[in-house]
Homo-oligomer: A and B are copies of this chain.
Amino acid sequence: MQRQIPEVVVSRLPMYIRGLTELYQGGIALVNSGDLGARLGIAPAQIRKDLSYFGKFGRRGRGYNVALLLGELSQILGLDRQWLMAVVGVGRLGRAIMDYKGFAPRGFKIVAAFDRDRKVIGRKVSDVEIQDMSELEATVKEKNVNIAIVAVPSSEAQEVIDLLVQSGVRSILNYAPICGKVPPGVRLEGIDPVLALQSMTYYLARSCDDLS
């Protein structure tokens, strides 16, 4: 039995996975918290504390075994299996998501897609047939969809989230620029490109000041 891990620690694990994967692919066998921290922009002390939740991965002065840590973290995050996803809303954004080549190699497979628009229902995008929204609940249950991606306009997003929750989906990735609501036990994460832009502007604003 594992201890309860704080959410903020869990949210950092994918970054560790990404950094460790790069190291592993580059043939690096051992890494210390200082080098890993420099690569990820996380304080070494934070890394040591985060990883301490999951047992002893490193030896003082020797660093972490990259392959071992990568395998262990992947298992902890449940990345040693395939997750089935549905996309709701197949406009430009939804189609771009269905087209995205980064999901499948990392264990996330899109198996269903839904829209309200009769002009797109019945068409295929990346080998997945777009179904009518009215078939969502039955299809999600039948295909054992674990995760749903919401790519509808903001005005429809909460309604779609409610429908997904009602259909038994417990993990939702929301691309609409709203802060949706879900009941306890359901996880809702938002993809908000503005958050990334807003931290870049800090540095842009500083360098403009330098010039004046």
Contact = CB atoms under 8 A, between A and B. Distances in A.
A77 B191 contact: no
A200 B189 contact: yes
A198 B77 contact: yes
A193 B173 contact: yes
A194 to B, nearest CB: 5
B102 A92 contact: no
Contact of A197 (B99, B108, B179): B108
Interface string A1-40: 0000111101101110110001000000000000000000
A41 interface: yes
A10 B202 contact: yes
Contacts of A192: 18, 102
A195 B41 contact: no
Contacts of A11: 41, 199
Contacts of A83: 197, 201, 204
Interface residues of A, number: 65
Interface string A119-133: 000000000000000
A168 B25 CA distance: 31
Contacts of A100: 93, 177, 193
Interface of A: 5-8, 10-11, 13-15, 17-18, 22, 41-43, 46, 76-79, 81, 83, 91-93, 95-97, 99-103, 106, 108, 146-147, 149, 153-154, 170-171, 173, 177, 179, 187, 189, 191-208
17 contacts: A10-B202, A14-B194, A77-B201, A77-B205, A78-B208, A79-B201, A92-B95, A93-B96, A93-B99, A101-B153, A103-B193, A147-B197, A171-B197, A171-B201, A171-B203, A171-B204, A173-B193
